[in-house]
Amino acid sequence: MYEKSITVSFLNRYIKKSLDSDYILNNLSVKGEISNFKLHNSGHIYFSLKDDGSKINCVMFKSSAYTLKFNPKNGDKVVVQGRVSVYEKDGSYQLYCNTMKKDGIGDLYLAFEELKEKLTKEGLFDLEHKKDIPRYPQNIGIITSPTGAAIRDIINVSTRRNNKLNLLIYPSLVQGDKAHTTLVEGIEYFNKKKNVDVIILARGGGSIEELWAFNNESLAYAIYGSKIPVVTGVGHETDFTIVDFVSDRRAPTPSAAAEIVTPALSDILNNIKDKSDLLRSNMDRIFLEKSVALKSLEKELKLYSPEKYIVHQYEIVDSLKEKLLQKMQFKISMEKEILARYNSLLCAHNPLNILNKGYSIIESEEQKFIGSKEEIKKYEKISIRFKDGKVKANIKILEE
């Protein structure tokens, strides 16, 4: 019997067309565990999906890989959506993936992103609402499970760094449907009591289901409304929850949260010593500067002291007094000379001098000079001045 032969390329092309035309194989979701994961330099992702009985090669091109909301790795259980086709070159079939999500938590991731977007729009994550973490707290409030590893790590780190602080623990559920309620109650308790300086909200690592209580909307509002700064240390470094975005400071682990909140006692003591040395140095410098300034002011005070000023003024007064006396004596001397000249001139023209020659002066009782016989007729009494004195006389006209 004659059989027609075909080429390998034709066979692979035929199989590819057959697979590409199958409705189910062109739109299916497959779940399995990732293995042989490789991120190519081009941005494409190559991996295998396996279960207990089989595996299939998969590829996710760069355009689809860009939309992933997590970093896949070997061992992750995922659900991929895509199509099955043949790679003609080597005749192998593989699953071309368009989307990928972790198995069983796709709905949780969707809820997480929706809540995150809502709270972002409401401004709960804005930096201006972040409160400063106190540098030197005295009392630290811790909200976590009292039996978990997180509380042990926080206590160990805090007491190692600074055994002088007070740790107040509010026991809370950190997993399950009612966990967020007790977490909110813890925040409200510390805000009502006002007995701590900062709050640590902590939990150890776990799956997204186990950490889901920290993605609660009411818990986010409680942290946002807290008057006391809140530091979160939930899960591991790669775990992010809603409380991490709304808190005042996010730590990658509970231990790191304790590191952030607890100041090292040795650092405090060293800082105090440095500040003390600086203070002492500044005081010595200031005392020296003030001492030099005081001595300068003392010299200046002595130079311009009131006593010295008064003594100097006495000297000025004495000098002025001496000058005044000299000027007075000079003035008196000059006036004496002038007076002597006027006296000589007056004496030379003094009418009384004529009395020395035997003449006399006749005056009325009112000391009015009488110089004619007509005038003397007016008076009954007169005064006659001689060179050696005056005499009074009665007037009697005997003959003209």
| Residue 130 pLDDT class (50, 70, 90 cuts) | very high
Q: 231 and 202, same structural domain?
A: yes
Of residues 126 and 74, more confidence is placed in 126
Q: Domain for residue 171, yes or no?
A: yes
Same domain, 154 and 252: yes
Asked if residue 166 and residue 47 are part of one domain, the reply reads no
Residues 242 and 121 in one domain: yes
pLDDT for 48 beyond 90: yes
As a whole-number percent, the residues of the chain with pLDDT over 90 amount to 55
Tens digit of pLDDT for each residue in 215-256?
A: 999 999 999 999 999 999 998 888 889 999 999 999 999 999
Q: Write down the residue that tokens 């006002």 correspond to.
A: 194
Computed over every residue of the chain, the mean pLDDT equals: 88
pLDDT interval class at 135 (50, 70, 90):
very high
Q: What is the largest CA-CA distance in the chain?
A: 222
Domain that holds residue 160: 109-127+139-263
User: Rounded distance, CA 211 to CA 260, Å?
Assistant: 22
Q: Among 263, 298, 318, give the residue marking a domain's end.
A: 263
Residue that is last in its domain, among 232, 263, 294: 263
Q: Is 321 contained in some domain?
A: no
Residue 344 lies in a domain: no
CB distance 195 to 139 below 8 Å: yes
Span 91-117, average pLDDT:
84
Could you give phi then psi for residue 21, rounded to 5 degrees? -90, -5
> Residues near 355 by Cβ (< 8 Å), separated by ≥ 6?
361, 385, 386, 387
Q: Report if residue 237 sits inside a domain.
A: yes
Token pair for 312? 């100097």
Cα 230–Cα 236–Cα 240 angle in degrees, nearest 5? 60
Per-residue pLDDT tens for 313-362? 788 888 888 999 999 999 999 999 999 988 888 877 776 677 777 778 88
- pLDDT at position 284 is 93
Q: Are residues 362 and 386 in the same domain?
A: yes
Strands 166-171 and 77-87: unpaired
Give the pLDDT confidence score for residue 309 in this predicted structure: 74
Residues facing 364 on adjacent strands: 382
pLDDT tens-digit readout, 273-326: 999 999 999 999 999 999 999 998 888 877 777 777 777 778 888 888 899 999
Give a yes or no: residue 189 inside a domain.
Answer: yes
Q: What is the CATH number of the domain that holds 180?
A: 3.40.50.261
Both 216 and 233 in one domain: the answer is yes
Report in angstroms the alpha-carbon separations of 69 from 99, 119, 314: 10, 18, 99
pLDDT reported for residue 400: 67
Q: Is the pLDDT of residue 1 over 60?
A: no
**Any domain includes 388:** yes
Q: What is the CATH number of the domain that holds 53?
A: 2.40.50.140
Are residues 74 and 55 part of one domain?
Answer: yes
Based on the fold, state whether residues 158 and 223 are members of the same structural domain: yes
- DSSP assignment of 49-88, as one string? EE-SS-EEEEEE-HHHHTT-SS---TT-EEEEEEEEEEET
Neighbour order of strands in the sheet with 166-171: 166-171, 139-144, 198-203, 230-234, 249-251
pLDDT above 70: residue 3: no
153 plus 253 within the same structural domain: yes
Token pair listed for 270: 């060293």
Indicate whether 73 belongs to any domain: yes
Per-residue pLDDT, 105 = 59
2 pLDDT band, cuts 50/70/90, is low
The verdict on 205 and 234 lying in the same domain is yes
Look at the chain and report how many structural domains it folds into.
3
The Cα 346–Cα 255 span in angstroms is 127
Q: DSSP secondary structure string, 181-247?
A: HHHHHHHHHHHHHT--SEEEEEE----TTTTGGGG-HHHHHHHHH-SS-EEEEES-TT---HHHHHS
Q: Which residue has the higher pLDDT, 95 or 363?
A: 95
Q: Is the pLDDT of residue 88 over 80?
A: yes
In a domain, 320, yes or no: no
pTM: 0.52
Q: Domain boundary residue among 240, 263, 286? A: 263
Same domain, 253 and 362: no
Is the domain of 123 the same as that of 243?
A: yes
Q: What are the tens digits of pLDDT across the range 380-393?
A: 788 888 778 888 88
